Amino acid sequence: MTPVERLRRAFARLGVERVLEPLAALPETGRVLLLRGDRLYDEALGRDMVERHDWILFDDNDRPVGANVAAGVAAQTRALLEAGHAEPKTVNALGLTRVSPTTLAAAYRHKLRKREAPYVLDLNEMSRGKAEWRVFMGAYKGVTDIVTKYLWPLPALWVTRFCARREISPNMVTLASLGFVIVAIACFWYGWFALGLVAAWIMTFLDTVDGKLARVTLTSSTWGEIFDHGIDHIHPPIWWWAWWQGLQASFPASVGAGNLALIVVVGGYVLGRLQEGLFLWRFGIEMHAWQKLDSHFRLITARRNPNLLLLTGFTIAGAPQEGFLAVAIWTGVSIAFHFMRIGQAFAAKRQSGKLVSWLAAPDTP
């Protein structure tokens, strides 16, 4: 997308549908949002740009790049943006408040579970590759598992770029990931553990790509989120059950221990989701975003990708049954840890009255 097309798409999602051409006559009444078309604006700025009035936005090089003004001063303000310079006395005379990206919008991004300063990028001074990387990482979740956070970003950028330039939609990527979910189930069921793990890892990678693709191209939708999250929530226990079925045929001697492990792994998955729901309901924040300890533990807690790491390591060592037992043990440890943290959260709430995510704290580094 061109920067202007990106702006059109971003503000259409916020209900702003009347867009004037660059040299069009400005309206005589109402409010006007003015933005330079050679800049790349963080999507996080959009809502504040629309809802806050009478401001002029300066970038990191102290150049005016945007404003939300009354129609009566729109022409004068546009001249300042075109000139790339605005004296403080001129800004004051127009009745505008000077803002920066960090003072216009909050750094805490609840949906992405991270704290990141909003940006305005000058595309005249930045390569396309660097700009794409900045937008891509801006769409990345801050609190997630170790594989998604540290292994997938660079290859996911390449695939996201490939899909965006060929107009492959996020839902098409999600549909492909569903295919690999089914392949992994079949392979695990018949004891083809190595092949199933290959399919499972491809699925987890595509699960990273579809969300990033939706966010960087501004094409996320309610149906897409239901489709993606529905698959994410349902398939892990089915994978573990299929793995257990494969063990029954391949390692009959492990049936007894495998039965107990299946109960712990599948039951622990369901219980873990209930713990997250309870935490959000009682405290108003996500369990993994409360304190740094919770965010760090999210890297390795017994969710899909950390469990796959255990299964992959043990399978490479020729011990898929021991891998399943290891997942069961780690699931038990994770559930116990989260119960401890829920108890501590109740105690903290009694003392302070409200829990706040460490990511939302003003002094978060």
- 123: how many CB neighbours lie within 10 A of its CB? 16
- 340: how many CB neighbours lie within 10 A of its CB? 10
- The reported pLDDT for the residue numbered 256 is 57
Backbone angles phi, psi at 168, to 5 degrees: -85, 120
Strand partners of residue 55: 68, 97
CA distance 46 to 71: 19
Does the structure show a pLDDT above 90 at 334? Answer: yes
Window from 191-200, 249-258, 316-325 with minimum mean pLDDT = 249-258
Report the length, in residues, of the chain: 365
Residues 6+ apart with CB under 8 A from 317: none
Does the structure show a pLDDT above 60 at 363? Answer: no
What are the structural domain ranges in the chain?
3-104, 143-352
- Given a contact cutoff of 8 angstroms between Cβ atoms, the answer to whether 302 and 331 are in contact is yes
Tokens 């999507």 found at:
43
How far out from the chain centre does Cα 261 lie?
A: 32
**Structure letter (DSSP) for residue 301:** S
Residues 6+ apart with CB under 8 A from 237: 265, 266, 269, 270
Does the structure show a pLDDT above 70 at 254? Answer: no
Helix (H) or strand (E) holding 47: helix 46-51
pLDDT in tens, 58-117: 999 999 999 999 999 999 999 999 999 999 999 999 999 999 999 999 888 888 888 889
- Given a contact cutoff of 8 angstroms between Cβ atoms, the answer to whether 253 and 321 are in contact is no
Does the structure show a pLDDT above 80 at 214? Answer: yes
- The reported pLDDT for the residue numbered 109 is 86
Residues 6+ apart with CB under 8 A from 261: 244, 324, 325, 327, 328
* pLDDT mean over 174-178: 97
Residues 6+ apart with CB under 8 A from 202: 177, 180
- Percentage with pLDDT > 90 across the chain: 82
CA distance 121 to 192: 49
Please tell me the pTM assigned to this model: 0.91
- SS3 state at 337: helix
- Average pLDDT taken over every residue of the chain: 93
Does the structure show a pLDDT above 70 at 35? Answer: yes
- Given a contact cutoff of 8 angstroms between Cβ atoms, the answer to whether 78 and 26 are in contact is yes
The residue type of 163 is C
- Percentage with pLDDT > 70 across the chain: 97
CATH number attached to the domain at 143-352:
1.20.120.1760
3-state helix/strand/coil string of 205-260: HHHHHHHHHHHHCCCCCHHHHHHHHHHHHHHHHHHHHHHHHHHHHHCHHHHHHHHH
**Structure letter (DSSP) for residue 105:** S
CA distance 289 to 360: 9
- The reported pLDDT for the residue numbered 253 is 61
- The reported pLDDT for the residue numbered 221 is 86
Kindly calculate the radius of gyration of the chain based on its CA atoms and give it in whole angstroms. 25
